[in-house]
Structure 1
Amino acid sequence: MASFGPRIRYKGWLEPIGHTIFFLKAIHRFIRTNKLCTILLGPQYKRSRDFIEIDITYDCNLKCLNCNRSCRQAPSQLYMKASQIELFIKESQNKRKQWKRIRILGGEPTMHPDLLKIIEMLRSSFQSDGTVIELATNGLSAKTKEMISSLPSDILIDNSEKTGIVNEHFGAFNVAPLDLAHFQCTSFSNGCQIAQLCGMGLTPFGYYCCAIAGGIDRVVGYNIGHQELPDDDDPMQDHFEKFCPLCGRFTSGHFIPWNFRKTLQEELISLSWQKIYTEYSEKIPNLTFYGSQKRKTNDKSIH
């Protein structure tokens, strides 16, 4: 189970109540993200200062449809260096940052050749402060299962136990809100619950308002990852305004239990994303790597 709770809720006789709650939430979200409401009330969601997700790789052994890291749509054998994790630790210590939770993701993080080293670096640096260290995995391959079993018992495992590339509870990540008529009066500065509930993101390219934003930057090439750990007084609002118009997760804005979602058995890709993936296949964008102003993502040594 993930540290933020079960993915299936309001079961049995509570289900009608749950449906009503999330129907009302959808109406509230639509009104709340209107540009006028946003001017009056400010952004609906703010990025977390206590939680962080680290995407240590975009390589994956499954490559699901509608992947919100584009592991299937724009595959890459890209791995964070242990030195980048070391830099994250140093920056956190210098700023006296006491993380409540650090989630390690991908891609499939168990494919990272230095996963055990990264885990131990984070454990030795943060667990004395009460930080929860969590690994999110698809639990698919024998290698992944073996890796999970070898992890220390104090590491929280979020094992989704996937069995194939079709996951009916996934959202239509590649349906960009900017391509939909009913979002034309929306202020994307509102962000969504992911930045608050899951946390801000650290990727090979630096810090983002959320890890999904970093995954979008990988294929779009805005190259706006923060190269230093942002101060708590930095809302990273520019990231919401830049990445949320492309992110299908913005449409709901909040977590919806799996049992209340419309099933999705195909991959939906709107026009903006079709163009983005076509351009990516022709030329991988240049992005600055976290910890190095010189190293670029189109270096052959890292793909």
Structure 2
Amino acid sequence: MSDSNTTAFTNPSTFILLGIPGLEAAHVWISIPFCIMYAMSILGNFTILFIVKKEPSLHEPMYYFLCMLAVTDLVLSTSALPKMLSIFWFNSREIDFSACLTQMFFIHCFTEIASGIFSAMAFDRYVAICHPLRHSTILTNSLVMKIGLVIVLRGSILILPCPILARQWQYCRTNIIPYTQCENFDVVRLACGDTRISSYYGLFVLSCRIGLDVSFIILSYIQILRAIFSLPTKDARLKTFGTCGSHIGVILAFYIPTVFDSLVSRFGQNLPRYFHVFIADIYVLVPPMLNPIIYGVRTKQIQDRLLWLFTHKRT
């Protein structure tokens, strides 16, 4: 392992993750809410998967996409939290160089996949509301599988250059990352030399997520709102819009932290370091925890099935 004060080394075998600088004494206490969020994420997402699998009436595109999101959330949170806890509990701050790049790939890849799933869910809501009679013929199981495959391939292909580029840089400054996880921007800025290509590519990936996916979601909801406002009665408009409520909730829970994290990483130099770390942690822990809660609260079919499971077991 390279010493933290080393100023001339190349491609370190390990990086050092500091955790939350300035709050080291509180690491054990901070780990408690992190553990609770992770446990809720595991329980909630596995519950969604179990309910959709067991309930034939939920075997339709909206819930297939929800299952894809649940798997994505599980992988995303699991990519980051075990290492966080090893830092908080055991002061195990070292992470192998290759493991760091692997973690970077999984975090960014599944963030990109989640963004693609939200676009697919927006398309599903658009077809269900604007073309209800053709919904089952347009969004067939075959098309849903193809959309899911395209989303996974897009996320993997877009993110793969990030660790490849990061591996080729020479690291001659320090091997210390003042965070709880490895992310592209934080790793690349430790490199010496001209790393603008990595920075520009990171901005390109972010623009694909924010520019393309968010634009597609906004356009879908413009058409959805037009269809809703054309309905004859207020009750019909509220009922139809209510079917989109859970989707809008998870979109906000996902994009607000990710956009905020990207902006803080690049432009928040005057903010305390621990604030940067908390924002980076929030976007890999909070959305996976909130998504099943939002869908559980807002989706009557899931509520009914969950209630039936509890009452059935008691009887």
Question: TM-score scaled by structure 1?
Answer: 0.25
Greater share of strand residues, 1 or 2?
1
Greater share of helix residues, 1 or 2?
2
